[in-house]
Structure 1
């Protein structure tokens, strides 16, 4: 099956394309985050301005850092490792991965730079070896 059949239904014209730059992806993510936060912010502002009932409790109540630390120490080593791995996976999902074209470009630049530096060090080593041999002969 070709991709042309899927594109012919008119859905691609309505859906925005994926941004090609990191700045475009950040802007898209910010816009999506603002849309998700907006209903809650509107509801909170209508709930009664200045009322303390809508504000979360601060201070020595539940959820303090000491309580969380005590709970963390009580967990087994396996539970802590599992939590760590879940957090690693969550962070990796936030990474903006380069496209194949970007990766090929970055790899070529790195290889060219490394080849240049190897040649430079080889030339300097050869020059200094000749100078030392000529001086102390």
Structure 2
């Protein structure tokens, strides 16, 4: 029932090669798995057709014009309000 001093304090540190991996692959195999997963996901990507691309581009440009108009009107209104409140 008596413990040795090493057991009482704790086992000495094990070398990395002797440590159990707890089921996790090493860092290099995890990198390989990651790259394989990235390639598999990239194979799922479908490029838009020319007509879809033109539609998406048109939608983005119209949205930008609407947002620019909104910000311009808002800026103009706030500047008029500031000049009215503080004089100008």
Normalising by structure 1, what TM-score? 0.43
Higher RCO (CA-CA < 8 Å; seq separation 6+): 1
Distance 2:59 2:44 in 1: 26
Q: How many residues align?
A: 66
- Structure 2 counterpart of 1:87: 37
| Unaligned runs of at least 5 residues, structure 1 | 1-68
Q: Secondary structure at the match of 1:125?
A: helix
**Counterpart check, 1:125 vs 2:72:** no
Structure with higher Rg: it is 2
**Misfit runs of 4+, over 6 Å:** none
1:25-104 equivalent positions in 2, closer than 5 A? 70=23, 73=24, 75-104=25-54
**Within 2, Cα distance between the matches of 1:126 and 1:104?**
33
* More helix per residue: 1
Partners of 2:68 and 2:31 in 1: CA distance: 42
Gaps of 5+ in 2: 1-21
